[in-house]
Structures are given as structure tokens and as C-alpha cells.
Chains A and B, each alone.
Chain A
Amino acid sequence: MENISAEQHPAAGLPPALSIRGLSKRFGAKLAVDGIDLDVPAGSFYGLVGPNGAGKTTSLSMATGLLRPDAGQVWVHGVDVWQQPLVAKRLMGLLPDGVRLFDRLSGEQLVSYAGLLRGMDKDTVASRVKDLLAALDLGKDAGTLVVDYSAGMTKKIALAAALIHAPRLLVLDEPFESVDPVSAANIRDILADYVKSGGTVIVSSHVMDLVQRMCDHVAVIAAGRVLAAGTVDEVRGNQSLEEKFVALVGGRNETAGLSWLRTS
């Protein structure tokens, strides 16, 4: 690890929005997550970056109560996720990646379903669904079945389902994948507003530029370990985040490239 700490200083006051200690998971012979420690300060916009197969999704699944860890502990605003899952899950909104939706429901039904499952009352659900669909520009397709949505619309409706109960911590796994630029900008605005009002957002992404522009904190994960974590400026130093990422993770080819691919 770089000399930047992934752990919040104990004197920092409020408990972190998300606190991870010694989290590990093994799938067969592969150690997917290898003892991760991480603190996400309350009120931060936290980026989680790493190459494919680094263990981002596995870590987030364990942090949100979807996947039982082999070892380690997770707290959300001081609530232990695996000791008091129901309390912890009330605090979190989750947009998982690579997971199906109940796609034979219409968009409106799906978001309402997510609200009702959380025990919200009917009228609140109805008014929030309306707001969310309008904000995400899905109003005209509210009655269309989710199975007939495009990939970007599907992402957006899943995001709406994650937001419906006004969580204090939002965990978004690859939220911008296949979302068009206009919708992505709208989503970024919504998230920025949310952070300004005191919420905490964790996004995982491959797109370094996006993370550098959007997030105030970042953690670099590779091969199931945290390589660096802290504020974006701390982590990247005087390089761009992308350069720093490549330097940390390695794997760039130094050879001359594909000489035969040149057209002239």
C-alpha cells in the first residue's frame, strides 16, 4: 500500500458511512478479496477503481449484505451489516452490477415494488416513483415492461429502485455503463445534489476521467487488495488519476505495438 491510509483516523468524530475491516472471500482456488480495509467518510463521493476481476463487485456485494464474507467485518454508519442486516440495509441503497431485475414488471411497478419491499407506505411510494421517473427521464416509458427497456434505461430504472427509500449511503456498481451522455449528466447532478445534502455515494467504475471529475475520494483495488486510498488529490499526486492507476496496477505493454496494424 502507498503511504496513504485507507483507514479513517479514530479522532475523526462521526463513524464512517462505510467501514470495512479484513474482508476476505475465496471462490474455489481463487482468492477474490484478500483482506480489504477501507473507510468511506460520511458525506463523501467515493470512487472505487480497479481492473477487471479486481474484486470490486465481490467487495461491494459483501459490504452490502448480498454475499457472506469468509472473514472480516463491515459497518454502515456504525451498524454491523452482518450482525444487524435489517437495520444496515435500511441505510443503504444498492445498484448491483450483472444482476437481473424483475423485468416482467413495468418500470413503474418495479420501482414501487422496491419501495414496498422496504415497508414504505403507499402514498410516499407513489409520489417518489413519479419524481424519480421524471428525474431519470423515464416518464414516457413508465408502463413499458423492463424486459423491453434498452440497456441504459435498465440501468436507470435500477438506480431509481435504489433511491426510492432515500438511503444515507448509496452503493452503485458501474452505474454509468451503457447510459447515454445526457442521462449520465442528469444522474451525476442527482448524485452531486445528494452528496451536498449529506448523503454518501460509492461508485465503482473503469472510467478514470469520470472518477477524477466526479469523486472527492478514491480507492484503487487490484487482485483483491487496496493499493491506495484517500482523497483523489492525495492518491493521484501530480499525475492524472489514469496515469497513477496504471502506475499502481501495472500491466502496460512497453513493446513497440502492432507494427502491421499501421496503415501507412
Chain B
Amino acid sequence: MNWELMIKWTPRLLEGAWLTLELVGIAVLAGLILAIPLGVMRSSRHAWVRALPYGYIFFFRGTPLLVQLFLVYYGMAQFEAIRHSALWPVLRDPYWCAVITMTLHTAAYIAEILRGAIQAIPPGEIEAARALGMSRWQALLHIILPRASRIGLPAYSNEVILMLKASALASTITLLELTGMSRTIIARTYQPVEIFLMAGVFYLLASYALVRLFRLLEQRLRVEQCQGR
């Protein structure tokens, strides 16, 4: 173990770790927002409403994130029309390509989590809401989504951890996040084991912190604890 080397490169690795957290943070939040309509449509009673999110989810869950990243980053740029469109200032930037792809990818998974959670709500509760005179939208906003978010939270926290690890792929489209930074450092030092081990420790710490955070959130959201009020 070359400790001197490890200490020397810590600041650069921290820089990369920060970018990793930023990418993951934006992707899982934007993905959640995108997933809500998808998940609700996916659990609709009408087959034609289910079809669109089904196709979307099928594509994004059926192909590797690496392929999706390359399609968006290198693939889109193959077409002149896209290079001259209004979207180009965004698509030209690897940062936004990574954020967009990761968001679309995680939204497909979150939508499935949401569908599972919605289907796990006892139908009686929704019927009760309707019987109280709530409209379909009111029932969705006040009963279904809050219930589903509690049921789906543990699975969502898993998905966030999975995205944290998947973000390592952003290194393949020139982003210097934790893995990209490690590979760049190794390109100069030729010491893969030390640097990758350090990166691994950073990832472990980050996922540990996230697990703790979600556990706190789960405890706060638990209904039973509010019964005394």
C-alpha cells in the first residue's frame, strides 16, 4: 500500500465524489417526478393508458445504462438535424447528457416501484375515499400517492443506492466523477489498486450515509408513531 500516493490524490478524488453526488441527486429527484405520472398510468384500468409507460419501462429496463448513455451522447450527435436543433446546447454537454440519461433510466425503475406500491394499497381504502365523496383526483392526491410513497420508500432507497453505483458509468462520456477521476489519476500513476480501493471506500461511505438517511425518513413517515397526537 502506497499511503503517500493515496493522501496526495485525496482532494482530487473528493472533487470527483462531489460530482457523483450531484449527478445522482438530480437524477433520482427528477426521475421521481417523471415516474409519478408513469407509475399512475401504469396502474390504470385501461389497457391503452398502460401501453405507453409499459413500452417506456420495457426499453429502459431492458437495455444496459451504458448503451443508453452512448446512444444519447455519441448516437444523437450522428444526426445533423439534432446538431442544429435548439436542443443541442443541452445535448452537447456531457454533464446534461449524463443527467438526462440517468433520469430517464431511473424513472423507469421508480415507476415500477410506484406501480407495485399502488397495487399494494388495499382497494377498500380507495373505495372508502370515493365513498366519502372525493373525486378521482382528490383520491389520487390525498390517499393513493401518500399511501404509495410510504409503501414504496424502502424500494426507492434501494434504487437511489443502485443509481449511486450506476453513476460510475458517466466516466465513459468524459465526466470526471469519482470513477472517471480515479481512472484519470491511474493514467498518470499506474497504481490501480490503491486508487480504486480509495474510490470504493468513498462509494461505501456514501451508500452507508444514504441508507441511514432513508431509515430516518422512514421513521418520520411511519404513521403509527403519530398516533399519540
The answer to whether A and B belong to the same complex is no
Chain A interfacial positions (CB closer than 8 Å to B): none
